[in-house]
Structure 1
Amino acid sequence: MYLRQSLDRSGEALAVSRQRADCLKLCDVKGWTDIREFPDNDRSASSGVRPAYQRMLAAIRAGEVDAVVVWDLDRLHRRPIELEEFIGLADEKRLKLATVTGECDLSTDNGRLFARIKGAVARSEVERKGARQKSAAKQHADMGRAWWSVRPFGYDAEPDPVTGGWWTSRRDPITKAIVHNPIREHPTEGPLLRNAYRAVLAGTNLETIAKAWNAAGVTGPKGGTWRGANLGPLLLRARNAGLREYRGEEVADGQWPAIVSREVYEGVRAILTDPARRTRSSFGRKHLLSGIAVCGECGHGLGSGTVKTGAVNYRCKQCFKVSRNAAQLDAMVVEAVVARLSRDDAADLVADRERPDIDGLIEQRKALREQQKALGVAHGDGKLSLVAFSAADQRLMEQIDALSAQIDDAPRAEIFDGVIGSDDVDAAFAALDLGRRRAIVNALMTVTVKPTGRGKSFDRTSVDIEFR
């Protein structure tokens, strides 16, 4: 006896229970008494795996089953390919098939024709349902409505009055109208998420944030521990900025509160999606100036290494003409940073002189990208020569890069938060984690180290510090 219910919101398997009662009655009429159940509750026949169905097929192949009872053929199959497999197996094993809704003898050509027609109809219903669901999903997206099957980290809502579980929308059992559940910021996860965005903007790496969350006992809606690998995708979710996406494209403002501003989200997205991030960011760096200070001979970023005395040196691994004691160079740079951030005009570094219109800049960038697509189509259709296409595309790319730079630079103030305006800038800077300190140095200045003769003591004049 095979029993299946596609969707069980309550978890009570009521449809399976009704099928069982009807199938048992049919078995009683036929005099079949040695009955074995194969129930698949909350399992679709058109997608996903059906463990009980697979166990039933294995039992049929093993000769343990002589007949199959099912409420209706569409409970058994909704894909023609599965039906054909079952028909072949039934023919091979002389299997009997009985349905509550009517007889279907697979040993006759009429019976197989009937089964195939039912299967084709069932498949057509699945495809129409899929088309309706896609259309509804797009409409929900365009309206900015949440459509999350699992509670996302950072957000909360009233539990389902029936199941007590998470829901964003459902059909009222009495009025049959669609009811939408108001989404709100989670009281503890929301602030954590907001602080994570600020930390990334300030130069803290993802692993450091993840370790802090784990140490504090923070888990996701499904439990588990945090790593950079799952924290990064969370921060790249546009919903955290109150934006609704559909298939990877932003389509509307969401009907839920934004945890971070759009400019903060865009700033973090720029950092996490930067192709050069792994080679020139603070992620994995152990020293203040690794990859930040550059060689005055060849312009290559300085790496670090240990010399025979056990001291750490910054050295150029490209031309090998520059090597400088790391502790002395760090001290010189920190001295310059503290002096600059202690000045009366330090606030000008992050002053909101002409705050950019982030939404406007993003819309301009989207429009330029649409123009790029149109150029590509025109070139593909032969309406635009390669020379003309390349020139126009280059102009658009330059404009897009300029807009992206403005968007990415908007959250700059986060880097200096807690340092500028401090009563003790030296102590405030020293208290920051390495990622924040590196971010401040990189935002504030360029450090160029020029070659000197061998064996000379640390020469401050060989280091050029230029403020940006």
Structure 2
Amino acid sequence: MSLDLTGEGLAVERQREDCERIVRSREWSLVETYVDNSISATDKTKVRPSYDRMVADFKAKRFDALVCWDLDRLTRQPRQLEDWIDAAEEQGLRLVTANGEADLSTDGGRMYARIKAAVARAEVERKGARQSRAQQQRAKQGRPPRGVRATGYTLDGEVIAAEAQAVRAVFEAFATGTSLKALAAALSGAERLTREVGDKTHIQVLPASVPVLPTRSGQPWNPSTVTGMLRNPRYAGWSMLAGEIVRDESGRPVQGQWEPIVQDSLWLDVQRRLDDPKRKSNKTGTDRKHLGSGLYLCGICDRPVKAHNVRYRCAGHVMRTRAAVDAFVLEIVRARLARLDLSDLLPTVQEAEIDQLHEQIEQARGRIERARADYRAELIDGPLYKEIKAEAEASIQRLDAERLSLSASPATAAILAAEDPVEAFDNADLATRRAVIDMLAVVRLFPAPRGLKVFNPDTVKIQPRARARGLPATEP
């Protein structure tokens, strides 16, 4: 049976009863019953365990007659049908169908079987083309796609609150620097990741903001399934087809007829991080083990420092003890988080400027639409149309980047808006604490004076970012 909608197996049970009635009427001995319920015989890539076992049993000469309800219940693959025809001609296999249409022992029966298989195959191809065209139409109209539902939504596009909360938490955690492996472990119910590097054990505490979310298959989450979630533009409210955002004739993303789970700015931030070549490198992946590695800058060359044993290092410039530097930076950050005017740091949406950018983006898209109309009316030639289109698309890309830079980011808002921000910061995972530090300040490390055994705070410069008013600045 291709698809058992109820899971009760009623259809294959009816088929089995009809087939066993034939076995009894011919006074045959029933050797085995082979059932593949809710598995299509049309898709040759599908694994049909019972079918494969049946083929093996025939080769082992366990039976010499085969009863099936209809030929298309046996197979819809012409190549497989030819194998059974060969078995009937060369090895004497008797193949009987419940509807009485197949008799592979005669040339007429074999011809009928081949014609039926070809017709069935052609109908499958036509059905596939119709379904593909229907999916394209649904996507262009912004309607929810059919098929496997996305986590967080029903098939009709309604939000499933508990799943949507988990999806949102995954996006926000990844945006702050949490690794795909850590997210998969957190969704699967783990509390920490343990990794052996040489003779040392590294323990990574997983983000508490990401809830446990069982998969529909019952298998644990893995990094690739998390990546599939993060890549899905449906969560930002955009229509998707074959993994790509669907766009109208002017290049505008088609808005879906469902409620977005994450902001488009957060979704695009996540895409940039997924595409970052540095993140994909084994040396600078997402599993940061130290507070300042890749975050603090060298005070001499302004490049990010790296962790080296118990120190932060910029080769030839700076070598500083990690514990002392981190303790000092955390002290400064905690002091700022404890201030009463912390609400000033909450990300704000500059709505007037964003609305103006939206208007400019629409004007640029209007240029493309007008140029397309002029080209179709033969008022302009192809090269001029391409030139106008390229200029407008470049303008749209620039304006869209500016719009996203003004949009509020939820990455660190939970810490800043907490009842006790200092406690929330201390209890956060490493990736979130790094994101908060990065939002508040730029930290630069300078060489320590020679011969000095104690930490000198004057060798660490903490420069507040523009919106981090009230953060005490330190000078080397």
Pair 1:447-2:409 in alignment: no
Alignment size in residue pairs: 416
- Matching residue of 1:276: 278
Query: Which residue identity lines up with residue 291 of structure 2 in the other structure?
Result: L
SS at match of 1:439: helix
State the alpha-carbon separation in 2 of the partners of residues 427 and 217 from structure 1.
23
- Give the TM-score of the pair, scaled to structure 1: 0.72
Query: Which residue identity lines up with residue 40 of structure 1 in the other structure?
Result: D
Identity %: 37
- Give the TM-score of the pair, scaled to structure 2: 0.71
State the alpha-carbon separation in 2 of the partners of residues 403 and 207 from structure 1.
31
CA contact (8 A) 2:348 2:408 kept: no
| Offset, 1:247 | 0.7
State the alpha-carbon separation in 2 of the partners of residues 227 and 74 from structure 1.
37
Q: What does residue range 314-463 of structure 1 map to in structure 2 within 5 Å?
A: 314-317=312-315, 320-334=316-330, 336-337=332-333, 342=339, 347=344, 350-354=347-351, 356=354, 360=358, 400=397, 403-404=400-401, 406-407=403-404, 410-412=407-409, 414-419=411-416, 429-451=425-447, 454-456=450-452, 458-463=455-460
- Matching residue of 1:177: none
Q: What does residue range 32-431 of structure 1 map to in structure 2 within 5 Å?
A: 32-34=28-30, 36-47=32-43, 48-147=46-145, 149-150=147-148, 152-155=150-153, 168=155, 183-186=158-161, 188-206=162-180, 213=187, 214=189, 215=191, 218-226=213-221, 228-251=223-246, 252-277=254-279, 283-306=286-309, 312-317=310-315, 320-334=316-330, 336-337=332-333, 342=339, 347=344, 350-354=347-351, 356=354, 360=358, 400=397, 403-404=400-401, 406-407=403-404, 410-412=407-409, 414-419=411-416, 429-431=425-427
State the alpha-carbon separation in 1 of the partners of residues 33 and 341 from structure 2.
80
CA contact (8 A) 2:361 2:400 kept: no
CA change 1:350–1:276 in 2 (3 A) is same
Query: Which residue identity lines up with residue 407 of structure 1 in the other structure?
Result: L
State the alpha-carbon separation in 2 of the partners of residues 246 and 192 from structure 1.
24
SS at match of 1:121: helix
For residues 237-295 of structure 1, give each alpha carbon's deviation from its aligned partner in whole angstroms, at most 9, with x where no partner exists: 33333333111123343343333333333333333443323569893223222112223
State the alpha-carbon separation in 2 of the partners of residues 200 and 361 from structure 1.
31
SS at match of 1:128: helix
State the alpha-carbon separation in 2 of the partners of residues 323 and 83 from structure 1.
72
| Offset, 1:82 | 1.2
SS at match of 1:276: helix
Query: Which residue identity lines up with residue 218 of structure 2 in the other structure?
Result: G
CA contact (8 A) 1:282 1:439 kept: no
CA contact (8 A) 1:267 1:410 kept: no
- Matching residue of 2:468: none
| Offset, 1:335 | 5.1
State the alpha-carbon separation in 2 of the partners of residues 139 and 109 from structure 1.
45
SS at match of 1:314: strand
- Matching residue of 1:163: none
- Matching residue of 2:4: 8
Gaps in structure 2 of 5+ consecutive residues: 192-210, 247-253, 373-381, 466-476
| Offset, 1:51 | 2.5
State the alpha-carbon separation in 1 of the partners of residues 227 and 306 from structure 2.
26
| Offset, 1:191 | 2.8
- Matching residue of 1:175: none
State the alpha-carbon separation in 2 of the partners of residues 12 and 301 from structure 1.
60
CA change 1:75–1:328 in 2 (3 A) is closer
CA change 1:104–1:270 in 2 (3 A) is same
SS at match of 1:260: coil
CA contact (8 A) 1:80 1:119 kept: yes
State the alpha-carbon separation in 1 of the partners of residues 329 and 267 from structure 2.
31
State the alpha-carbon separation in 2 of the partners of residues 394 and 217 from structure 1.
47
Query: Which residue identity lines up with residue 410 of structure 1 in the other structure?
Result: S
CA contact (8 A) 2:365 2:392 kept: no
| Offset, 1:46 | 1.4
CA contact (8 A) 1:262 1:358 kept: no
Query: Which residue identity lines up with residue 416 of structure 2 in the other structure?
Result: V
State the alpha-carbon separation in 2 of the partners of residues 16 and 397 from structure 1.
58
**How big is the alpha-carbon RMSD for the aligned residues of Structure 1 and Structure 2?**
4.3
| Offset, 1:79 | 1.7
SS at match of 1:304: strand
CA contact (8 A) 1:211 1:227 kept: yes
| Offset, 1:124 | 0.9
| Offset, 1:78 | 1.6
CA change 1:62–1:327 in 2 (3 A) is closer
CA contact (8 A) 2:172 2:410 kept: no
| Offset, 1:68 | 2.4
CA change 1:222–1:431 in 2 (3 A) is same
Gaps in structure 1 of 5+ consecutive residues: 157-167, 169-180, 307-311, 375-382
CA change 1:53–1:273 in 2 (3 A) is same
For residues 342-378 of structure 1, give each alpha carbon's deviation from its aligned partner in whole angstroms, at most 9, with x where no partner exists: 49597267333356359949977x979x99xx9xxxx
The range that moved more, 250-259 or 205-214, is 205-214
- Matching residue of 1:174: none
State the alpha-carbon separation in 2 of the partners of residues 275 and 285 from structure 1.
16
The range that moved more, 327-336 or 53-62, is 327-336
